[in-house]
Structure 1
C-alpha cells in the first residue's frame, strides 16, 4: 500500500509451527484457533490483512477493516487468526464462504456472519520493530496494546501452566478449536520458519471407499479416494477424501479398484438426480469455491473399507484431508457409521473468552 509506512511492511509470511505428539514442557501455551491465519497492518486509516500465501485478504472482510480502525493502535502490525463463530463454536464453513469474488455477496456475508480477529503476537508498534524481541516481551506488549480492544479484536488466552494447557487441549475442541500451540518463551519472530509447536487431536475411523478421482498427471493413476460413512437412516454420506499415496501405489490402486467400478444409477451418490446444486456440493459432488473445477469421480460399489487418521470433524465431514492408515478387510461396509466417531466435550467459545461469539448484523462502515 503506497501510503503505508511501518517498521514491518507487507507482504510478510507468518511464523509457522511443526507438529509434535505431546505438549512440551517450559513453553507458553495457547489454544490453536481454526480459521484463516492473517497478519494485520495498520498505519492510520491504511489497513491490510495478509495471509499465509502473502496475498491480501482485505477485500473479503470489510467489517474487520472498519473494526481495525476503531480497536487497534494507530500504527501496529498484529499476527493472528480470522475466525467466524456461530452458536458458540467456530464455523470454518462459514469462513470459507467469505472468499467470494462478488463484492455484493461479500458485503451481505459481512453483515450476516461477521468475522472476529484473534490476536496472538505483536510484530510492530508505532515506529518500533518488535520481531527481534523475545516472545514473552511481545506477548506483554500485545496484551497492553489491545487492552481496550473489542468487540471484534481479541487477545488469545495464554498460559505457562502445562496442566491448564492440557485441559484446554481436551475441552476447547468442543468449541471448534483444534489443539494447542506451544511457543518458546525466548523465541524471536522468524517469518516462514517452523519454530513453534502444534499439538493436534489424532483419531482413526473406518470408512467406506465409494469412488475415486484420477490423478492430475493422467488417466493411469488414482488421485484420491472418496470416503463415506453410513448415517442413522442407512444412507451413505460423503465425509472426505484421502490422497497421499506414492505414484507407484496410485497406479496399482487404479488396477485394484476396477472390479468395483459401477454406474451412477446404481450408486448412492447419483448427484445428477438432485435438482438442488447446494445438495450436490455439500455432499462432495461439486465445489462452492470454484464452479469451473472438475470434481467428477468414478463411482465404486461401496464394498471396500479403509482405516484413516483424522484430527476432527467440521459438521459431517473431515475438517482436513484424512490420511491412509490401513485396509480393513475384516470390517463390513455397513459397520462404518458415524457412531464410531469420538464426540468432543461440549464447550462454548464464550467459556474461553467473553464476546468471542459476535452478533450477526453488527453494522460496519466500509
Structure 2
C-alpha cells in the first residue's frame, strides 16, 4: 500500500555503533550521510495538500507553514519524503558561519497560530530530504536504497531553498572526517545505510555513529519515578566560572531494581527541613513539560558520578545522559564546565553544499 497521511508510515530507525564501519562490512555496501539534528519528518503530498508527520506520526503541519508552501510549490506529483526539519542560525563562535539551532527549532512548536506565523518569518525552517518513499502512484518501500536514492536525486533537481537533499559518500574515511568536523555545525554524527536494503518502517536497519564523551558531574537531586516507586531520574550539575552550581541535565533509564536501590543509596544526602521532611524543588517548565510533575528531591551536592554524553546545547547536555559509574575519588567542587570537550566551529553552509 502506498504510504499516505491517512495511513502514516513509521520512519525507519538506526541502531548505534561505536565507530564508522567500513563500506564493505555489509552486503551490497554502505552509503554514508551526515546525521542531522532536528525534527525527523515524513512529508505526504497528495498532489494538492501537504501533511508533515513526526517520528511518532504526530502531525506537525500547522507549525511549519513556510515548508508547506515550499512543498506545494516545488513538488509536481504525489510524493512521500523522509527527512529532517531544522532551523539554521549564525554561529556563536568566531567563524562568522552558521550552525543548526535546536532551541530556535523547539520554539516553533507553539499553540498560538499568531506565534507560529511570526516565527515562520523570524526563524524559518528548512527541510533536508534523505529518502524517497513514494512517487506518483508508486510506493518505493520495497526498492533497495540505491534505487530510492537515485530517484530522490532526480526529484531534488527541482528543489530550491528551503528544501534540499542530504549529501552522501561511499568513502568511509571521509565519513569519519565528517563525524569530527560537522559537529561544529551542530550535527549529531554520521548515518550508514545499506544500499541493498528496502525501507523497513519502525525497524533499526540503518547504522548511526554519534559522539560519545564522558564527564564528571554533581548529583543535585532526583525525581521520583512516575510509578511512585524509586528514582526516575537524577538531576545533574556543574560549577561555572563564578563558582555557581548550575543544572546541566539529567540521567535516567534505570531498571526497576536499581531505582529502588538508588533511593536507599541517596537517602543520607537528602536535604531535610527542621522537621525532618525532605526538601523539594521544581525545575523550570518548558513547552514540552505541559502538566508533567517537575518536582524533585534536593540532595546535598557532594556525590559525583561519571556520565556518558554525546553533545552540549548551550550550557546543558543536548540529550539525557547515561550513568557510567560513581566517582568517590572526585571532589564535587572540581566538577566544572572546563572538562567538557567543545567541538571546533564548522560552517553549516559547507555541510549543505
Q: TM-score scaled by structure 1?
A: 0.87
Gapped regions of structure 1 (runs ≥ 5): 1-5, 273-279, 355-366
Gapped regions of structure 2 (runs ≥ 5): 24-29, 91-97
SS for the counterpart of 1:245 is coil
Q: Give 1:311 deviation, angstroms.
A: 0.7
Q: 2:145 corresponds to which residue?
A: 135
Question: 1:196-245 deviations in whole A, cap 9, x for unaligned?
Answer: 10011111000000111111111x41111100011111111111011122
The answer to whether residue 9 in structure 2 is matched with residue 12 in structure 1 is: yes
Q: 1:331 corresponds to which residue?
A: 330
In 1, Cα distance between the equivalents of 2:316 and 2:280? 17
Question: 1:272-306 deviations in whole A, cap 9, x for unaligned?
Answer: 8xxxxxxx8xxx43233234222011111110000
Equivalent pairs, count: 334
Q: Give 1:263 deviation, angstroms.
A: 5.8
Alignment match of 1:80 (pick from 59, 74, 83): 83
Q: 2:101 corresponds to which residue?
A: 91
The answer to whether residue 53 in structure 2 is matched with residue 50 in structure 1 is: yes
In 2, Cα distance between the equivalents of 1:72 and 1:336? 52
Q: 2:22 corresponds to which residue?
A: 25
The answer to whether residue 243 in structure 2 is matched with residue 243 in structure 1 is: no
Q: Give 1:35 deviation, angstroms.
A: 0.8
Distance change (3 Å), C-alpha of 1:95 and 1:264: farther
The within-5 A match list for 1:1-366 is 7-10=2-5, 11-26=8-23, 27-87=30-90, 88-218=98-228, 220-262=229-271, 284-354=283-353
Question: 1:151-180 deviations in whole A, cap 9, x for unaligned?
Answer: 111100001011111110110001111110
RMSD: 1.9
Question: 1:116-164 deviations in whole A, cap 9, x for unaligned?
Answer: 1010011111122222221111111111101121211110000101111
SS for the counterpart of 1:303 is coil
Q: Give 1:271 deviation, angstroms.
A: 11
Question: 1:21-54 deviations in whole A, cap 9, x for unaligned?
Answer: 1212221000000111111011222101111111
CA contact (8 A) 2:280 2:298 kept: no
Q: Give 1:264 deviation, angstroms.
A: 9.2
